[in-house]
Copies of this chain bind each other. A is one copy, B any other.
Amino acid sequence: MTLEVKNLQCIRGDRELFTDLSFQLEESQLMMLEGQNGSGKTTLLRSLCGLYLQDQGEILWNGISIKKQDEDYRRELLYLGHLNGIKADLTVLENLRFNATLAGKIPSTDKLMQALDTIGLYAFEDFPTSQLSQGQKRRVALARLLISKAKLWILDEPFVALDIAAVELLQSIIANHVDNGGMVILTTHQEVPLTSGKIKRLSLSEEQDNLPSSAK
């Protein structure tokens, strides 16, 4: 399985975020996306998910454009953005079960509880997520990683709001996924040593300065 990006271009408003961006990602590879605030990392990641339509270029999954096979592609995809994607009024367990079912599998409660335990939410399963702290909310969102069967993980600043122990845990989860043949694309502004697999780095900010074009 491969993700291939060819000559991608994204324009937001009157700013060209990136042009002619091409790369390829294979199994057991991890790609770190780098760039300063506003350089277009989130935009790129959302384009890769098909949430944002690029202005030019192509995104291919196993050689076929993701536009032409969206359900097949989406089955292999797990995206975690700046927003946690959890409902404040549902309990931790309900949220996780809903997210898992949506992704296509109907997991047993045992498995879900185990995932919550691993992610550090033991005994919180019946709390409405509105009553959790910022970092605990993020953990609920991250628990999806533990029960997901998706090949390609796209993670937008996953370490935000996590405490040190949780950052380490998440790193090992990611490393594990890569070791098992998964693919990960992630961004982070924090220094985290990700030691596994073949790390690729892609930097967005060098390509151009950070001003809206009207100011150039």
Residues in chain A within 8 A of chain B (CB atoms): 12-13, 35-42, 82, 120, 122-124, 127, 131-136, 138-139, 157, 160-167, 189-191, 210-212, 214-215
Contacts and interface: CB of A to CB of B under 8 A. Distances in A.
Nearest to A138: B37
Give chain A's interface secondary structure class: loop
Nearest to A35: B163
Given A12-B131, A42-B134, A164-B189, 16 more contacts: A36-B165, A37-B120, A37-B134, A37-B135, A37-B166, A38-B132, A38-B136, A39-B133, A42-B133, A82-B134, A82-B161, A123-B211, A123-B214, A162-B189, A167-B189, A191-B191
Number of copies: 2
Nearest to A189: B163
A38 B157 contact: no
